[in-house]
């Protein structure tokens, strides 16, 4: 359901009858971004807008993103949706958008600039802190905890790591946190890392995976090691995590509302195109979900399979 929909083939002009919104995201291939894309596409169909959705291969590829933003500008869109990998890097381009009177909507994480009309984002740090809190609760406030993080330099990686670490440091004196390990969000690599962690720390009590790929990697690693009783806390959703939560392998996870982010983004963009006023920040929220609430409609609505 991706190459169809509103993107369409009307390649040429930025004008046309439908307003065109160019969205440059932090990623493309991962489920999280595909869910954002899905939300945006659905909303665009509803509102009668045309969108394109692009993102670099990895969240380290700042230059590629900047180039994508440049190319998006060249298409003279009516509005731009932008999730900055590095907000400073894009500053000149945002300035350019401003001079061209193209409104910019930031999403996922904030942009260090007052150019964006509004920002639809989640507080990743607070979300990670929430994950830490649940981990601590699950362990009764003591034990050894490891982190498998998807990236050590990207905003989301840093926030989800630091949010977790800081909460633990401040609130859980009984918990020892091992140095974070980074698996690039690759499931197989994260699984191998998890197994190494377990081998090196036979007394490990809990492991936190900072995004979908890391979390699934942790689940696989724990399963493959045959070790029982390790509490796993994850991030994002996706079928594998949902299944793991349902069958008890994973204690629970934090999810944002990617589909909602996509929708909010398009709504905000349309408003900006029409010149309507809107708040500077739209909090798209995050949720803790586990076995107990996974089937509740409000949670089910924000999970993607």
Residues of this chain that interact with another protein (CB under 8 A) are 1-3, 7, 11-14, 28-31, 34, 52-55, 57-58, 60-63, 66-68, 70-72, 74-76, 86, 88-89, 91-92, 151-154, 158, 178-182, 186-188, 191-193, 195-197, 199-202, 216, 220, 223-226, 238-240, 243
With beta carbons less than 8 A apart as the criterion, state whether 168 and 138 touch: no
Beta-bridge mates of residue 22: 52, 80
With beta carbons less than 8 A apart as the criterion, state whether 243 and 212 touch: no
When the beta carbons of 215 and 282 are compared against another protein, the nearer one is 215
**Distance (Å, whole) CA 137 – CA 194:** 22
Token code pair at residue 197: 């962690």
- Angle at alpha carbon of residue 113, lines to 24 and 76, rounded to 5°: 40
**Distance (Å, whole) CA 164 – CA 211:** 13
When the beta carbons of 118 and 211 are compared against another protein, the nearer one is 211
When the beta carbons of 116 and 138 are compared against another protein, the nearer one is 116
Q: How far is the CB of 282 from another protein (least distance, A)?
A: 25
- Angle at alpha carbon of residue 86, lines to 123 and 65, rounded to 5°: 115
Q: How far is the CB of 102 from another protein (least distance, A)?
A: 13
**Distance (Å, whole) CA 140 – CA 144:** 12
When the beta carbons of 187 and 264 are compared against another protein, the nearer one is 187
When the beta carbons of 180 and 252 are compared against another protein, the nearer one is 180
When the beta carbons of 155 and 231 are compared against another protein, the nearer one is 155
Q: How far is the CB of 277 from another protein (least distance, A)?
A: 30
Q: How far is the CB of 18 from another protein (least distance, A)?
A: 13
Q: How far is CA 294 from CA 41, 223, 254, 287, in A?
A: 25, 22, 11, 10
Q: How far is the CB of 279 from another protein (least distance, A)?
A: 28
When the beta carbons of 95 and 278 are compared against another protein, the nearer one is 95
Q: How far is the CB of 275 from another protein (least distance, A)?
A: 24
Q: How far is the CB of 247 from another protein (least distance, A)?
A: 11
When the beta carbons of 62 and 265 are compared against another protein, the nearer one is 62
Q: How far is the CB of 125 from another protein (least distance, A)?
A: 15
């Amino acid at each position: 359901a991706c190459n169809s929909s509103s993107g369409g083939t009307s390649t040429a002009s930025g004008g046309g009858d439908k307003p065109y919104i160019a969205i440059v995201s932090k990623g493309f291939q991962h489920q999280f971004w595909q869910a954002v894309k899905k939300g945006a596409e659905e909303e665009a169909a509803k509102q009668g807008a045309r969108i394109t959705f692009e993102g670099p291969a990895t969240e380290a590829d700042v230059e590629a993103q900047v180039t994508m933003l440049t190319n998006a500008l060249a298409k003279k869109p009516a509005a731009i949706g932008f999730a900055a990998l590095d907000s400073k890097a894009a500053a000149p381009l945002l300035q350019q958008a401003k001079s061209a009177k193209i409104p910019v909507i930031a999403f996922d994480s904030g942009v260090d600039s007052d150019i964006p009309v509004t920002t639809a984002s989640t507080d990743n740090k607070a979300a990670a802190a929430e994950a830490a809190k649940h981990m601590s609760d699950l362990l009764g406030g003591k034990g050894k905890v490891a982190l498998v993080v998807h990236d050590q330099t990207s905003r989301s990686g840093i926030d989800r790591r630091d949010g977790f670490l800081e909460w633990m440091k401040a609130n859980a004196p009984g918990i020892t946190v091992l140095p974070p390990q980074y698996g690039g969000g690759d499931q197989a690599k994260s699984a191998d890392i998890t197994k190494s962690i377990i081998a090196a720390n036979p007394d490990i009590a809990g492991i936190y995976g900072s995004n979908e790929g890391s979390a699934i990697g942790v689940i696989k690693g724990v399963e493959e090691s045959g070790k029982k009783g390790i509490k796993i806390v994850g991030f994002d959703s996706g079928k594998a995590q949902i299944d793991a939560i349902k069958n008890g392998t994973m204690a629970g996870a934090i999810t944002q509302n990617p589909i909602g982010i996509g929708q909010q983004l398009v709504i905000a963009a349309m408003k900006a195109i029409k010149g309507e006023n809107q708040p500077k920040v739209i909090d798209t929220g995050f949720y803790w979900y586990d076995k107990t609430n996974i089937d509740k409609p409000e949670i089910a609505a924000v999970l993607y399979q």
